[in-house]
Structure 1
Amino acid sequence: MGFIVGLLIGLVVGLGIIVLFVRSENSRSKLRNELAKMVAAFARMTVEDSRKILPAQFYPSWVVFSQRQKLNWLNQHLTKIWPYVDKAASDLIKASVEPVLEQYRPIILSSLKFSKFTLGTVAPQFTGVSIVEDGADSVTMEMEMQWDANSSIILDIKTYLGVSLPVQVKDIGFTGVFRFIFKPLVNEFPCFGAVCFSLRKKKKLDFTLKVIGGDISTIPGLSDAIESTIRDAIEDSIMWPVRKIIPILPGDYSDLELKPVGMLEVKLVQARDLTNKDIIGKSDPYAVLHVRPLPSRTKKSKTINNELNPIWNEHYEFIIEDATTQHLVVKIYDDEGVQAAELIGCAQVQLKELEPGKVKDVWLNLVKDLEIQRDTKYRGQVVNDSLNPVWNQTFDFVVEDGLHDMLILEVWDHDTFGKDYMGRCILTLTRVILEGEYKDSLQLEGAKSGKLNLYLKWMPQPIFRDS
């Protein structure tokens, strides 16, 4: 979360330049009405559009570069100022995040604090930008960011048994889209009253936990509990529709704050044909439901013992802040008593698919991981008895949202009696959209060795085939 500070600095400076240009060309009375339209128009311009306006010799060389090249100025400046951002932000983040961690602290721990927190020497990089037309009095910007950090973060945890352990958070890998709302547009410099920011979409968040001088696996359930705490804290502290407001000019910005817009009523009826997680007998399933993972807003069903077709018939209510983007998450667990519960499967319902005031009955297919759940999937051919398989297969995917969609490739070992997961690669689409086509060799995540060689080509128009 610390990289937000650096991000804001670059964005405010960049947007300020655009605003000043517009201000010099338009009268003060038209500024608020015209600014959002002009910024959005510039965002939609292509290289071809710029060539139609002026011959190449009359505009700077960067205009002919791709959008990725245009973002280089921001990445370069952020890299230069990153040591100062790290130093200034680390103490601030430590002080603001610790209360959030305490709120989500697992029940098995008596204390969860930072003993060391630095962002590291590697600055995040921006890979995509878009402007969302929001109205005459505001500008909404979304920026995709990648960060493979070398942060130095150590958690000082204590259990109720009196055990104190320093846990290092390392190998942080993050890809996500941040939303910035500049509102209201005003006549005073820097021409907007406040900046509102939020993590609009979290595509990837990987990290590892390591006890300094020991093995975290020696305490059963500790690693999973801490990892879940970190993910939930991030999810509910900056994930949209949660938003952080930074006032730039004095004023009342309560209209930017998070407010309830409705209530979701849910009836958890039953489940069928659940996977049995027990060696002896059957699973003891219970459900956990939430729209936001805040502990006070998470609902837990009763446990149905020794049953793979449980019937609950329980009612819940959830406060909704943004029906267009929020979703209901349902996770089914096997109750293991004093041991940590084992996930049987999970599913989600997009609230935008529901009609206000109307009841919708749905059966949800359980998956192992919501992060990689997708509607369009292809399976490659099985290459027998080979550690160097060659597929040479072509797959076409229809992309609805180039800024947010991802391509996920998984490699499995296909055996006679089943299949074993070997590793995966996750790609954003920004590079292939900007460059048109490219070849790359990608390291398999989750595997000790192995790479995938890919050739990707972007087709700007949808491909239609005769049925």
Structure 2
Amino acid sequence: MSDDKVPSKKTTVKHSTLNPEWNEEFKFTVTDPETQYLDLSVYDWEQVGKHDKMGTNVVHLRDLTPDETKTLTLNLLKSMDPNDPENEKPRGEIVLEAKYRPFKEEELARDVGEGADIVEKAPDGTPEGGGLLVVIVHDAQDLEGKHHTNPYVQIFFKGEGKKTKESLGYVDIGLADAVGNRRTNEKYDLIGSKSGRIQIELQWRPS
């Protein structure tokens, strides 16, 4: 899946600093904590031209303990290739908090005061095992760049994710036909489908 099709968030730009502070919170809906992960990259914002990537790293949801806030200090890397020699060069680090909250059936959305611990209702279609991921990007330190560096953080929420299961139709087949004829090979109209059909072969082999 390309980056333009996955959920993403972006911090504000901090101008002329190599030690930016954001303290900005973001939320993502989790569909499969075993495969999904955060892809964080720090960029140098430019008014004209391409924004240069200053460093990157990832956080796997499977490394988070549900309902516990984890503070992470990540070294910024050139790439996620473990054999990339450019990763030996210091590029600074980024500090963030992450908390994964699995959804419970009894959870309901409710209005609470600002700053309270909000429990949100699972969006429609969220599969079993889904939840809410809350990420707070605090700051970055000792970024590699010039004195006029304008850093911001781009966060992509990647991974396979569980696919919701949807029934496209079904059939009811009486075993009497297969027993009496020893073998059947028929096409059946799918119940619950407007035009779907399925071909099924049955063989009866008495012991």
TM over 0.5: no
State the TM-score bracket (shorter-chain normalisation). Answer: 0.3 to 0.5
What TM-score do you get using the length of structure 1 for normalisation? 0.17
What TM-score do you get using the length of structure 2 for normalisation? 0.38
Larger RCO, structure (CA 8 Å, separation 6 or more): 2
